[in-house]
Amino acid sequence: MSLGSFLTMRPVVLYVSLGFLALGIGAWAQTAPGITEAEGDDTAIPFALPQSGPFNAAEIDIENDQAILDWFRSAHANAAAEAFSHWDDEGEINAACATCHSGEGFRDFYGLDGTQAGVVDGTIDVGGVVDCGTCHNAGLAKISEVTFPSGVVHPVTGVEASCLTCHQGRAAGATVLAATQGMADDEPNGELRFINPHYATAAATWLGGYGAAGYHYEGNAYSGRFFHARPVASCNSCHDPHTLEVQFEPCLTCHEANSPGDIRIARQSYDGSGDTTVGIRSDIQANADLLMSLLLDYTDDVVGAPAIYDATRYPYFFADANGDGAIDMADGRPVAYASWTPRGLRTAFNWKLVTADPGNYAHNPLYSLELLYDAIEDLSAPLGLDMDDLGLLR
């Protein structure tokens, strides 16, 4: 009996395991009964049955089963995570967000699904994740460049298009500059709102001053793309492409450390502590903490409108008009901070950009330190602080 005849029989009850369904049109399709080689080439068969049974799904060899398992356990496949479930109640993903929060949206944006490239023009249903087709689509080979929020157009090859598209953030220093152009540095403006660079901004950090993700202060130079050791040239040089975990063993070729965060790439202290026995991550974190402290002092002492930072809810900065240390509430909701000055906004943006990348110490430590130093220096003037007394290095 041919496969076609078999599939048209009624009633038919098929019990097929998930493992078997994952086979697609692999080896079984090549030997399926009733299908000639020509038909196999021209006919799309989503799933094919073995020539005979019974069979044990656990014994079916799936060449990429480990890669699938690794991916399934990664953050890219976690459909319950906020990154993929945020739009569940809406029934579809906002077009502006779909490019990076759904494999279907990514393919739509780049026209890999046959639609116009450069825009998500179709309804993207919820429930999608960064699936196999996001990084393994043959059409990636045709993507030659990725545009960053700063306007920088960066050349890419292959799977780099996926990584750099979705880990570049959604705003840059140029966004802040445009919003504050012509305003007095320390005068609150009710039209200003916190500008969020977004999350997991590894690609933006990696490109450094060349990518211009941060707010760049006029007259200052910034370290460019972070070129590590020669073999480290792409995201996959350090991260397993499916688990996303850092492959630490290669680091030990040149570094003595117990973890990536313990690696120190400098002989000097950047945070004024003088401690060079800890990883460079410690200096970045210390300067980030100092910047946040100074920013809150600035809103209180200079602006006269205290702010409170809450990392658990957007837009993170909230009003504390009476200075009692509690977030102001209105109609049962927290009141977003609305007394931003240009100085406060640009320093807050640099702080968020650096801290939004948990791997900043590996992706581009020098650029991260420069952004933090310049923001601290910016706040030091109105706060009456002497940078020399802080002992920081840029």
pLDDT tens-digit series, residues 349-370? 999 999 999 999 999 999 999 9
Is residue 211's pLDDT more than 80? yes
Beta bridge partners of 93: 124
**Please, which pLDDT band fits residue 49 given cuts at 50, 70 and 90?**
low
Comparing 356 with 57, the larger pLDDT belongs to 356
d(CA 289, CA 338): 22
Q: How many CA atoms lie within 13 A of 41 on its CB side?
A: 3
Backbone angles phi, psi at 228, to 5 degrees: -85, -150
Find the mean pLDDT for residues 76-93.
Answer: 96
**Please, which pLDDT band fits residue 99 given cuts at 50, 70 and 90?**
very high
Compute CA distances 200 → 188, 227, 250, whole Å: 29, 20, 23
89's CB contacts (< 8 A; 6+ apart) are none
**Please, which pLDDT band fits residue 38 given cuts at 50, 70 and 90?**
very low
181-206: pLDDT as tens digits = 999 999 999 999 999 999 999 999 99
Find the mean pLDDT for residues 69-89.
Answer: 96
Residue with tokens 């579809």: 92
> Percent of the chain, pLDDT > 70?
87
DSSP letters for 127-146: T--S-HHHHH-GGGGG--EE
What is the structure's pLDDT at 87?
96
d(CA 76, CA 56): 30
Find the mean pLDDT for residues 291-300.
Answer: 98
Comparing 37 with 141, the larger pLDDT belongs to 141
Find the mean pLDDT for residues 302-329.
Answer: 96
| Tokens at 284, concatenated | 């970045």
**Please, which pLDDT band fits residue 40 given cuts at 50, 70 and 90?**
very low
Is residue 122's pLDDT more than 60? yes
**Please, which pLDDT band fits residue 228 given cuts at 50, 70 and 90?**
confident
Q: Which of 228-232, 262-266, 283-287 has the highest mean pLDDT?
A: 283-287
289's CB contacts (< 8 A; 6+ apart) are none
What is the structure's pLDDT at 61?
75
What is the structure's pLDDT at 315?
96
Calculate Rg over the CA atoms of the chain.
Answer: 26
103-109 long-range contacts, CB within 8 A, separation 24+ = 103/128, 103/129, 103/130, 103/131, 103/132, 103/133, 103/134, 104/128, 106/130, 106/134, 106/162, 106/165, 106/166, 107/133, 107/134, 107/137, 107/139, 109/165
Cβ–Cβ < 8 Å for 45, 24: no
190's CB contacts (< 8 A; 6+ apart) are 338, 339
DSSP 353: H
243's CB contacts (< 8 A; 6+ apart) are 70, 71, 73, 74
SS3 helix, strand, coil % of the chain, rounded to 5? 40, 5, 50
